[in-house]
Amino acid sequence: MRIAVLDDDPILLDLIKGALEHHQHVCHTYADGASLLKDVQQETFDLLIVDWHLPDMEGTEVVQSVRQLHGLQLPILFITRRQDERDVIEALTRGADDFMTKPLRMGELVARVTALLRRAYPEALGTRLVFGAYCFDGEQRALYLHGQAVELKNREYELALFMFRNPGRLLSRGHLREVVWGDNAEAPSRSLDTHISRLRSKLELTPANGYIITAIYGLGYRLDPVSVDANAEMGA
């Protein structure tokens, strides 16, 4: 999963980044609220970890701004040295999903992150996933459309699986490139567009099959489910 961590302590940022990456997450770190808020307008993340006291603003302000941009779907874990019950209540009231006090225990942090991700993205846990006419077999790394195997290269499979695990969600170009090429790879932007085009064709992503890919100019792509009623109206 792609996680953003906001804290002005560089040592703690490194510790959190190391713990999360050890568990196969991609971690982006920020030292001030303005930098994170700038990125969340263009990039997508699966979870945020936010400190309370920051050089330029309060973490509660960051959480409120993120909620205004992305609603309640994005899970947020709040971290702080403040321990009073009223502080916990304020953080949760402002939009945080969970709360941890410093000093952090990395094992507990990873466990809380895992729990938040499990609740937010339950469809990402199974090895056999069915989305209407599409069926993913995680053990065989195979995709079937109407019961027929679709021949996909490794990166095409990873991209398709990730998009189907996040239906209706705008995914930034950077997020998608990290999933397919890795967080350190400098994949050409056109490579992503080429892969998306191939998926449209190979997976026959049309209203008739229940899903389409929508390009959001300057931001990324979204896999949109198409309802049966919508299909009927289009065919009327």
Beta strand ranges found along the chain (DSSP E): 2-6, 26-30, 47-51, 76-80, 98-101, 128-131, 134-137, 142-145, 148-150, 171-172, 211-216, 220-225
Over residues 123-132, the pLDDT tens digits come to 655 567 889 9
Q: Write down how long the chain is.
A: 236
Q: State the DSSP H helix or E strand holding residue 12, giving kind and residue range, or none if neither.
A: helix 10-22
The pLDDT score that the predictor gives to residue 125 is 54
- Please tell me the pTM assigned to this model: 0.80
Cβ–Cβ < 8 Å for 66, 48: yes
| Residue with the two structure tokens 């936010």 | 50
Over residues 146-192, the pLDDT tens digits come to 999 999 999 999 999 999 999 999 999 999 998 888 855 555 668 89
Is the bond into 103 cis (omega within 30 degrees of 0)? yes
Average pLDDT, the chain: 89
* 3-class SS of residue 136: strand
Confidence of residue 84 (pLDDT cuts 50, 70, 90): confident
Tokens found for residue 108: 């507990």
pLDDT of 195 above 50: yes
Cβ–Cβ < 8 Å for 90, 60: yes
* CA–CA gap between residue 66 and residue 77 (Å, rounded): 13
Please name each of the domains of the chain with its CATH number. 2-120 (3.40.50.2300), 127-235 (1.10.10.10)
DSSP 171-216: EEHHHHHHHHH-TT----HHHHHHHHHHHHHHTT-SGGGTEEEEEE
**Distance spanning both ends of the chain, measured CA to CA:** 41
